[in-house]
Structure 1
Amino acid sequence: MRSFVLRRAARADMEAVARLHRHVRKACLPYLPELHTPQQDLAFFEQHVFPASTIWLAEDEGQVIGFAVFKQDWLDHLYVDPAWHSRGVGTALLTTVRQDAAELNLWTFQENGQARRFYERHGFRAVELTDGSGNEERTPDALYRWTRNQAG
């Protein structure tokens, strides 16, 4: 089995992160509308994500295979290349993000059963379900929360 490494992202990683974000959404979330171009995705990461967040990458032989984006007590993104699903990449990224956190919150789409099962296995609990009117995709979502005290 091949191994991967984790490291903090640098601005030079921005294009690879934006590409992986788009790839995973298309492959794993086909029910979502495609609202942005690849250039708009890159601009979003450049203007909003990279300047305001801490980003951890998982790499295999220099290729980004997963990433986690967080700030304060929010996990804003956790994406893993589908070829690397069920190989510990998501767990490693999540463990790194939670290392110093007392609490983490995140949104995921209700229809994303794979993500919901992943987060529930890692101690997150659904605390709110919405009709999707508050997200850009207008797709029902779920708010999840993990706290260190709850996790034991």
Structure 2
Amino acid sequence: MSQLSIRATTGAVEYPALVAIWRGAVDVTHDFLAGSDRDEIESKLESDYFPAVTLHVAERDGQPVGFSGVLDGNLEMLFVDAALRKGGIGTALLAHALSELGVSKVDVNEQNVSAAGFYLHRGFELFDRSETDEAGRPYPLLHLQLRG
């Protein structure tokens, strides 16, 4: 398997590939999400969500295989190609966000048990919970911060 590298996004030209990664990952990990909510979020990725964060892309053989988005020390998004899950890409993206971007917090959907476990296993702890997501949809969020 070839080396994984993490780099800043090349900009909006790369957004369609990142949307495809997002969609595949969400289809596998967010079975609790109503289709209409998923479609609404997806429709805002390129216009609203991606431009609002510092995006980094994990790539192998010149192809994006995952990405993260950070804003003000908060990991706003981390998604990995669904076919490559559990291969260390998410761990590498998180390590990069922690060491290079000063991430200390992350919000994760409570129903996404595997993602919550991923962050808890990597040094985060629960400090708060919200009944709804940031848009007021009925998806509780766990607010996690680095221990210590």
Task: Tell me the residue number matched to 1:45.
Answer: 45
SS at match of 2:104: strand
Could you give the per-residue CA deviations for residues 18-47 of structure 1, whole angstroms, max 9, x where no partner exists?
121112111211111122548x735x2333
Residues 1-152 of structure 1: pairs in structure 2 closer than 5 A: 1-11=1-11, 12-34=13-35, 35=37, 37=39, 41=42, 44-132=44-132, 134-146=134-146, 150=148
| Unaligned ranges ≥5, structure 2 | none
Query: Percent of pairs identical after alignment?
Result: 23
SS at match of 1:99: helix
**CA drift at 1:141:** 1.9
Paired positions, count: 146
1:46–1:101 Cα change, 3 Å? closer
State which drifts further: 47-56 or 128-137: 128-137
Return the letter of the residue paired with 1:76: E
Q: Is the 2:125–2:146 Cα contact (8 Å) retained in structure 1?
A: yes
Cα distance in structure 1, aligned partners of 2:86 and 2:144: 21
Could you give the per-residue CA deviations for residues 34-63 of structure 1, whole angstroms, max 9, x where no partner exists?
22548x735x23332333321111112222
Could you give the per-residue CA deviations for residues 109-134 of structure 1, whole angstroms, max 9, x where no partner exists?
11211111110111111111232265
Could you give the per-residue CA deviations for residues 55-114 of structure 1, whole angstroms, max 9, x where no partner exists?
111112222211000011111000112222221111111111111455522211112111
SS at match of 2:138: coil
Cα distance in structure 2, aligned partners of 1:145 and 1:125: 6
| Unaligned ranges ≥5, structure 1 | none
Return the letter of the residue paired with 2:25: V
- Which TM-score applies when normalising by structure 2? 0.85
Q: Is the 1:32–1:137 Cα contact (8 Å) retained in structure 2?
A: no
**What's the C-alpha RMSD, in Å, of the aligned pairs?**
2.2
- Which TM-score applies when normalising by structure 1? 0.83
Return the letter of the residue paired with 1:45: L
